[in-house]
Amino acid sequence: MKLILLGPPGAGKGTQAEALAKRRSLVQLSTGDMLRAAVKAGTEIGRKAEAVMKSGGLVSDDIVIGIIAERIEQPDCAHGFILDGFPRTLAQAAALDKLLTSKGTGLDIVIELKVDDGALLSRIENRARETLAAGGTVRADDNAEALKTRLWAYYRETAPLIGYYFAKGKLRTIDGMAAIQDVARQIDTLIGELESA
Ligand code: AMP
């Protein structure tokens, strides 16, 4: 099973991807997590990405496509993976198609988590509060200013992917405003339908 979770920042992609990966023994591929790890490790990619990530902008297509191309070659991805935060541009989506086609495979489904835009800021603020309460470190881009830039990047660069995958017959949309468990159930229902088709 190869699937994408699509949605704006704060839609719950990471939470759902992590839980789904456990339920289905799939690998969660979050370019955001990979880039944050690169920043922390001080690699060349991390140095290139750090400032743009902090501002809420998008890291260059070349960098993220390179990261994903390398990662999906790893043996643990053979069984399937969940892409969370990738692709974010049409160029990334086209590169992903090309990569998968060259491996004789393709995407099974793209699940869009639809959320009320007005709820996103409070979701991000909650996430920051919960992380602090748990003794963690708040993401450098979990603040109102960077969120504005992240949302802008989403609507300008990523939202066109909804049409792209709809046209390919891969898109399914679910209510991302529901409780975490309900969203998980909606995802399981879609995957179940796919498997029994
Ligand atoms: P995320 O954890 O998915 O919210 O990603 C955090 C940040 O990492 C984003 O705001 C971007 O700066 C960068 N990033 C993650 N994935 C991508 C991607 N596919 N394309 C470009 N930038 C990305």
Q: Please tell me the predicted confidence (pLDDT) of residue 127.
A: 83
pLDDT along the chain (197 residues), means of 10: 96 96 96 97 97 96 97 94 98 98 96 90 85 89 87 96 98 96 98 92
Rounded to the nearest angstrom, the distance between the alpha carbon of 7 and the centre of ligand 1 is 12
Task: Tell me which long-range contacts 157-163 makes (C-beta under 8 A, separation of at least 24).
Answer: 157/58, 157/88, 157/89, 157/90, 158/6, 158/8, 158/87, 158/88, 158/89, 160/90, 161/6, 161/87, 161/88, 161/89, 161/90, 161/93, 161/110, 162/6, 162/112
Query: pLDDT of 144-161, one tens digit each?
Result: 888 889 999 999 999 999
Query: Catalytic positions, please?
Result: 13, 88, 127, 139, 150
Query: pLDDT of 92-129, one tens digit each?
Result: 999 999 999 999 999 999 999 999 888 888 888 888 88
pTM check: above 0.85: yes
What is the rounded average pLDDT for all residues in the chain? 95
Ligand 1 touching residue 85 (CB < 6 A): yes
Name which residue sits closest to atom 5 of ligand 1, judged by CA. 32
Ligand 1 touching residue 32 (CB < 6 A): yes
CB atoms within 10 A of CB 188: 13
Q: Please tell me the predicted confidence (pLDDT) of residue 123.
A: 83
Ligand 1 touching residue 53 (CB < 6 A): yes
User: How many whole angstroms separate alpha carbon 160 and alpha carbon 107?
Assistant: 17
Rounded to the nearest angstrom, the distance between the alpha carbon of 32 and the centre of ligand 1 is 5
Q: Please tell me the predicted confidence (pLDDT) of residue 119.
A: 85
* Exposure class string for 85-100: b at 16+ Cβ within 10 A, else e: bbbbbeebbebbeeee
User: How many whole angstroms separate alpha carbon 44 and alpha carbon 9?
Assistant: 25
Q: Please tell me the predicted confidence (pLDDT) of residue 79.
A: 87
Rounded to the nearest angstrom, the distance between the alpha carbon of 175 and the centre of ligand 1 is 22
